[in-house]
Amino acid sequence: MDLRLSGQVAVVTGASRGIGLAIVSTLLAEGARVVAASRRRSPELEALAGPGLVHVATDLMEPSAPGLVIARAAEEFGGLDILVNNAGGPPPGVTLPRSSFFEAGDDDWRAVFEFNLFSVVRAVRAAIPLMLRRGGGAIVNVSSANGRQPAPMNVDYSAAKAGMNNLTKALSEEFGPQGIRVNTVSPGPVRTPWWTDQGGAADIIAAMAGSDRDSVLDRLAPEMMRLSTGRLVDPQEVADAVVLLASPRSASTTGADFVVDGGLLKTV
């Protein structure tokens, strides 16, 4: 199916690995031109190099950074059609998962909200005027199933994602009549470096459970979270949902939340 993205200009944050890398790759395959923002390049992102891809090395914790990334899209490609706010998770200096509310102090909360919510606010603030000049656009915010399912684990992160969900709904109401669609995709546990890196979530949970990282990734984590599929989500599965929402094929979808969670959420 042609997603009608050829020639469109997209910004993707958190683009060097995991879900973000899969989103960039998929957008390029559909003919879009992409500004990929991340703290550093990765070999996998380098392998996608070409005239339709520009990398911006940036720290989205800096208040000016999201706006500068958006401005780069206008400089390189003349405007902006798609914004994917994918960057999220633990900011530098913060370790997740946490198992209790009392494990996070004020500085931890501020850092998690700065990275997972305020950077999104700033990116959207910069993107909407560019989209309005082109008659509309699509914003996809990568949230989390945790934003819909409160739990003692990672409460600060979950609260930030719940805020993102609320923000998305509000933006869809205000700017839908002006041609800008705003949606969320809420992944469950995705097999990304956040899980698989040395010292990442798999190692932390293995230490808590007296197990090993491979057992956590392949069996224990899916069992603990009661995933209906019995496995962690693949990054490409999330990217496919994101790119579909970014596409004009989803022209009547706005203010929606697409859940890609392996059956984590059990509520109606």
**Mean pLDDT per 10-residue section of the chain, whose length is 268 residues:** 96 98 98 97 96 98 98 98 96 85 93 97 98 98 95 92 98 98 97 90 91 95 96 98 98 98 94
Could you give the count of Cα atoms lying within 13 Å of 190 in the half-sphere of its Cβ?
28
What letter represents residue 71's amino acid? A
- Token pair in block for residue 82: 């798609």
| Secondary structure of 69-131 in HEC code, one letter for each residue | HHHHHHHHHCCCCEEEECCCCCCCCCCCCCCCHHHCCHHHHHHHHHHHHHHHHHHHHHHHHHH
- pLDDT score at 223: 96
150 as an active site residue: the answer is no
pTM confidence score = 0.95
Domain ranges across the chain: 9-190+234-253, 192-232
- pLDDT score at 151: 85
Q: Which of 115, 157, 194, 195 is catalytic?
A: 157
- pLDDT score at 121: 98
Domain 9-190+234-253 falls under CATH 3.40.50.720: yes
CB-based contacts of 131, cutoff 8 Å, min separation 6: 80, 81, 83, 137, 179, 180
Return the axis-axis angle of helices 155-175 and 119-133, rounded to nearest 10°. Answer: 20
* Nearest residue to 119 via CA among 176, 160, 158: 160
The answer to whether the beta carbons of residues 38 and 52 sit under 8 Å apart is no
Other residues' Cβ atoms within 10 Å of the Cβ of residue 80: 26
Cα-flanking dihedrals φ and ψ of residue 12, to 5°? -125, 125
